[in-house]
Amino acid sequence: MSELATAFLRRLRETLPRHADPERAAAMAKYMRDQFPFLGIPSTPLAALQRELATGLPRPESADAAEIALGCWSLAEREYQYVACSYLRKYAKALDEDFLGVARELIVVKPWWDTVDALAAHVVGPLVSAYPSLVRVMDQWAEQDEMWLTRTAILHQLRYKDATDADRLFRYCRRQAGHPDFFIRKAIGWALREYAKTEPDAVRTFVAATELSGLSRREALKNL
């Protein structure tokens, strides 16, 4: 492991447990349907602690970021994964094309909407934008049986605005329109609603012409 990853993870393991709040941790775990244990550190103090942890450390290379993220994923409490997502978002421009394989592991290991959505919009999305050849991987993920990869493919353009590949977005949504799971139906609606801020007429036309679930349709048209 690199010196940077070793130093960051050591600081992380030493610092976060000192700020644990068992009562709050129980409530946070319950909110997440007891998918993961928590330390009980809210998002604002957690962000402040992360800034403190990074003080004096250099900017990472892609390999450093991968080691830090995977190290965070190996720790039990959910706050460690939140730190990893925030770190990757901050240094998204440092990630190289090969990082998508790491992102895939982060998506399918300990998956839930909280980390998957952060990775989709702020890690996978920027990677695909920076390395257009990765679009082919999104096409594969959009057809996967692994639900969280499918959700990521649908959401990866969430922040693209007028750079959105509308044909691809609509194709993914149409392909998964009949998916039975809430998280896919919600992702379809969310992705369409976000794109509607840029091209409302295109989204209206697509929704009118496509057999979507009630949830997807309501989400897509919420602000129109």
Q: What is the pLDDT of residues 195-213, one digit of tens each?
A: 999 999 999 999 999 999 9
- 3-class SS shares of the chain: helix, strand, coil, % to 5: 70, 0, 30
Which amino acid is located at 59 in the chain?
R
Q: Could you say which DSSP state residue 87 is in? A: H
Question: 21 by DSSP, 3-state: which?
Answer: coil
Q: Inter-axis angle of helices 99-108 and 62-73, to 10 degrees? A: 10
Res. 5: pLDDT tops 90: yes
What is the arithmetic mean of pLDDT over 188-193? 98
What is the arithmetic mean of pLDDT over 175-182? 97
Q: What is the mean pLDDT of the chain?
A: 98
The percent of residues above 70 in pLDDT, for the chain, comes to 100
- Please give the full DSSP string across 174-197, using - where no structure is assigned: HHTTT---HHHHHHHHHHHHHHHT
Q: How many Å apart are CA 188 and CA 151, to the nearest integer?
A: 8
Q: Where do the H-state alpha helices sit in 91-213?
A: 99-108, 113-119, 125-130, 135-141, 147-155, 166-175, 182-196, 200-209
Return the pLDDT at 187: 98
Return the pLDDT at 144: 87
Which contiguous run of DSSP H or E holds residue 32? none
Give residue 220's pLDDT band: very low, low, confident or very high (50, 70, 90).
Answer: very high
Q: Inter-axis angle of helices 200-209 and 214-221, to 10 degrees? A: 160
What is the arithmetic mean of pLDDT over 150-172? 98
What is the arithmetic mean of pLDDT over 38-56? 97
Return the pLDDT at 49: 97
What is the arithmetic mean of pLDDT over 112-131? 98
pLDDT in tens, 162-171: 999 999 999 9
Residues in Cβ contact with 196 at an 8 Å cutoff, skipping those fewer than 6 apart: 203, 204, 220, 221, 223, 224
What is the arithmetic mean of pLDDT over 164-192? 98
Return the pLDDT at 21: 98
pTM over 0.85? The answer is yes
Return the pLDDT at 221: 98
The percent of residues above 90 in pLDDT, for the chain, comes to 100
CB 165 within 8 A of CB 198: no
